[in-house]
């Protein structure tokens, strides 16, 4: 398996350019259509094409796709098949004529009803227009309609479409939820297995229907597919500076934000209006050692920006770096020589409280973007046909699934969006088009891609740093791709499934590549909440609950073969439970692996999270 992994990464590196001077796909990225604007102290993005403001979520930055684009990975020579609901058409990157099916025929509007989902997914995978580009903008995407306007499709229809997609050499294929009738699924299962053996990568949604076969639907469980769930990321555009110790971001507005404010760490000094200054501007600063303002940013308690302007040049003469206020500036003055940072009353109170504790240092690094990008995200729920919202089931990976931009609708003068687990499926299909070597028929392509995505995924954590959801619902975590081409850290397996266990100790082998000198690794446990099942249903327990505990220890294991690598770990799970009769508990979590230089433990070059799970059973069948 290590050889397979090495082959996959080597093929990926061969796809990278020899020269960085080649024009990158990022040069035509949809992000370059947008520019930040400020109106009435609020920030938004303005589309140059539409000549209007629009809110957008920068998922390419969050997931590292922009880094892959800048490495000239754009899906060239890759063919993707979307087997779903829409008209049959081909969409090639850069071909305006081919885009007419999207722009003027069946527009990819998320609210247009059945018949548009396939077009939406095609845009996310391989759209390429003036103002919008997909994850793999140079891939060829074909949409096959297997619904025919009906609310459900059959295994027979999907099997026929899959057969044709394989005959026409599509390397990446997305499949929908499939209504199963009788023995229709047998041929489809055989065809999916054969597709995996031939090197195809099949991506599906990690819904209850797809993974559990609920409501008489076809189950992909146990088949060589990549199951995908979605996640929601908080989003708000803003400029900000940060508290030096906590990293808390304090957003602000300013009429001169383009002046720049890269001060680095500086002290914020809270003063009253006119502190240290004469009322007449010709005298300037008082010669008082206690009023040393040089090199500081001032937080001025004032009810009038105009009165602060009276002292503007004097503060500048004293060496002040900038001024923080809470009063909105309605005059839009731009002749100031100092940056003004207008913050909220809540953030002003935060600065005052820190000052009372002697904490006055803040970092000003001219940062603008999603101020909430360091806030916890959430596993996106999937809307079932009955209207209920359900968490994904057994996902291998999570991808963005909320407000993904599609091509713009010229007729209605707007950008279309997609918010659905199908959007996450399309996102992963696009990532596969970037990472799979073109025309590769390696039989383990799907497994290798799944391994690489899981090795670089980031679990979702709460504000308190705890794992937000069990592995059952978030799999390996959120997709992250920025470090894939250059990473030297890998694991085997990428998921430790203990199955049903009893109290006591269980040891499992774990191979970590990239932990040999001069690189070393540190390990720690990040436990998720338990899922306790009984006859009355199920609910979550804290990892330290008295009814069950799972502790992990690890040690380097001596290899049986003296010529084998020394990166073998023995992971021991110590299980203790006190469950009532007829109850079962599912536990899970992550093993955090931090790779660092042997002589520099302060700057780890890479981090990996390996999920684990198991079940403590008291003869109760678990109903997810």
DSSP assignment letter at 405:
E
Which CATH number is associated with domain 488-617?
2.60.40
Residue 54 CB burial class (10 angstroms; 0-12, 13-18, ≥19): middle
Looking at residue 138, its pLDDT comes to 83
With the CA atoms of 305, 308, 310 and 316 taken in that order, what torsion angle do they form, in degrees rounded to the nearest 10? Answer: -130
Residues 6 or more apart from 267 whose CB is under 8 A from it?
295, 296, 297, 360, 361, 362
Peptide bond into 493 cis (omega under 30): yes
Mean pLDDT taken over the chain: 77
Looking at residue 278, its pLDDT comes to 44
Among 37-41, 247-251, 468-472, 616-620, the range of highest mean pLDDT: 468-472
Q: Are 611 and 495 in contact (CB under 8 A)?
A: yes
Per DSSP, helices labelled H in 37-116 are: 59-63, 65-70, 100
Looking at residue 457, its pLDDT comes to 94
Q: Is 143 helix (H, G, I), strand (E, B) or coil?
A: strand
Looking at residue 35, its pLDDT comes to 58
Over residues 271-294, the mean pLDDT reads 53
How far apart are the C-alpha atoms of 59 and 424, rounded to whole Å? 11
How far apart are the C-alpha atoms of 482 and 62, rounded to whole Å? 9
Please say if the pLDDT value at position 574 is more than 70. yes
Which CATH number is associated with domain 237-369?
3.50.30.30
Residues 6 or more apart from 28 whose CB is under 8 A from it?
128, 130, 133, 137
Extract the tokens encoding 358. 């002697």
Q: Which residues pair with 398 in a beta bridge?
A: 229, 478
Q: Is 299 helix (H, G, I), strand (E, B) or coil?
A: strand
Q: Are 37 and 54 in contact (CB under 8 A)?
A: no
Give percent of the chain above pLDDT 90. Answer: 30
Residues 6 or more apart from 416 whose CB is under 8 A from it?
107, 108, 109, 110, 120, 123, 405, 406, 407, 408, 409
- pLDDT band, residue 245 (cuts 50/70/90): confident
Give percent of the chain above pLDDT 70. Answer: 71
Looking at residue 471, its pLDDT comes to 95
Over residues 275-297, the mean pLDDT reads 56
Relative to beta strand 322-325, strand 397-400 is unpaired
- pLDDT band, residue 353 (cuts 50/70/90): very high
Q: Are 493 and 505 in contact (CB under 8 A)?
A: no
Domain 2-13+72-227+404-455 bears CATH identifier 3.40.50.200: yes
Query: Domain spans of the chain?
Result: 2-13+72-227+404-455, 237-369, 488-617
Q: Is 225 helix (H, G, I), strand (E, B) or coil?
A: strand
Prediction pTM value: 0.79
DSSP code per residue over 329-388? --S-----SS-EEE--HHHHHHHHHHHHTT--EEEEEEEEEETTTTS--EEPPEE-TTS-
| CB count in 10 Å sphere of residue 102 | 25
pLDDT tens digits, 61-80: 778 887 887 777 778 888 89
Reference 326, options 344, 308, 346; nearest CA is: 344
């Amino acid at each position: 398996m290590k050889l397979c992994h090495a082959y996959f990464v080597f093929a990926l590196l061969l796809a990278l350019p020899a020269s960085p001077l080649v024009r990158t796909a990022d040069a035509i990225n949809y992000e370059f259509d947008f520019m930040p604007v400020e109106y009435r102290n609020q920030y938004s993005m303005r589309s140059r094409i539409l000549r209007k403001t629009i809110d957008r979520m920068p998922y390419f930055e969050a997931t590292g796709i922009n880094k892959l684009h800048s490495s000239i990975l754009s899906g060239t020579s890759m063919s993707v098949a979307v087997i779903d609901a829409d008209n049959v058409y081909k969409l090639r990157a850069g071909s305006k004529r081919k885009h007419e099916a999207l722009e003027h025929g069946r527009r990819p509007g998320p609210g247009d009803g059945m018949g548009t989902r396939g077009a939406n997914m095609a845009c996310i995978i391989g759209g390429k227009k003036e103002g919008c580009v997909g994850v793999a903008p140079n891939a060829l995407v074909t949409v096959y309609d297997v619904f025919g306007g009906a609310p459900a499709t059959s295994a027979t229809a999907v099997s026929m479409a899959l057969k044709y997609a394989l005959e026409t050499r599509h390397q990446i294929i997305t499949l929908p939820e499939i209504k199963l009738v009788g023995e229709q699924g047998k041929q489809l299962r055989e065809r999916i297995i054969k597709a995996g053996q031939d090197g195809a990568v099949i991506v599906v949604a990690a819904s209850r229907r797809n993974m559990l076969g609920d409501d008489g639907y076809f189950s992909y469980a146990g088949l060589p597919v990549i199951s995908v769930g979605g996640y929601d990321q908080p989003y708000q555009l803003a400029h900000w500076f940060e508290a030096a110790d906590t990293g808390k971001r304090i957003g602000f507005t300013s009429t001169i934000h383009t002046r720049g404010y890269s001060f680095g760490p500086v002290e914020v000094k809270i003063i009253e209006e006119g502190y240290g200054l004469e009322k007449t501007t010709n005298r300037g600063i008082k010669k008082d050692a206690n009023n040393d303002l040089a090199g500081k940013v001032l937080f001025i308690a004032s009810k009038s920006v105009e009165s602060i302007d009276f002292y503007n040049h004097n503060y500048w003469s004293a060496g002040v770096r900038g001024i923080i206020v809470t009063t909105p500036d309605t005059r839009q003055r731009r002749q100031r020589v100092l940056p003004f940072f207008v913050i909220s009353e809540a953030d002003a109170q935060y600065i005052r409280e820190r000052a009372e504790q002697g904490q006055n240092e803040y970092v000003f690094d001219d940062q603008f973007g999603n101020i909430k990008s360091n806030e916890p995200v959430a596993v996106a729920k999937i809307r079932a046909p009955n209207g209920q919202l359900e968490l994904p089931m057994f996902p291998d990976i999570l991808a963005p699934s909320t407000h993904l931009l599609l091509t713009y609708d010229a007729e209605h003068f707007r950008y279309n969006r997609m918010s659905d687990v199908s959007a996450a499926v399309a996102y992963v299909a696009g990532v596969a088009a970037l990472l799979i070597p073109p025309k590769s028929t390696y039989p383990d392509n799907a497994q290798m891609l799944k391994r690489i995505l899981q090795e670089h995924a980031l679990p979702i954590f709460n504000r308190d740093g705890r794992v937000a959801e069990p592995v059952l619902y978030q799999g390996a975590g959120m997709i992250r791709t920025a470090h894939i081409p250059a990473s030297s850290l890998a694991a085997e397996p990428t998921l430790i499934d203990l199955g049903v266990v009893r109290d006591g100790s269980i040891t499992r082998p774990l191979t970590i590549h990239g932990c040999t000198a001069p690189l070393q690794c540190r390990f720690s446990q990040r436990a998720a909440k338990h899922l306790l099942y009984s006859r009355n249903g199920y609910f979550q327990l804290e990892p330290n609950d008295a009814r069950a505990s799972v502790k992990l220890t690890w040690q380097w294991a001596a290899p049986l073969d003296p010529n084998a690598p020394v990166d073998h770990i023995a992971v021991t799970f110590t299980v203790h439970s006190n469950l009532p009769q007829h109850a079962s508990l599912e536990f899970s979590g992550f093993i955090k692996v931090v790779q660092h230089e042997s002589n520099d433990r302060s700057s780890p070059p890479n981090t990996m999270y390996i999920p684990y799970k198991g079940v403590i059973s008291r003869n109760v069948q678990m109903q997810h």
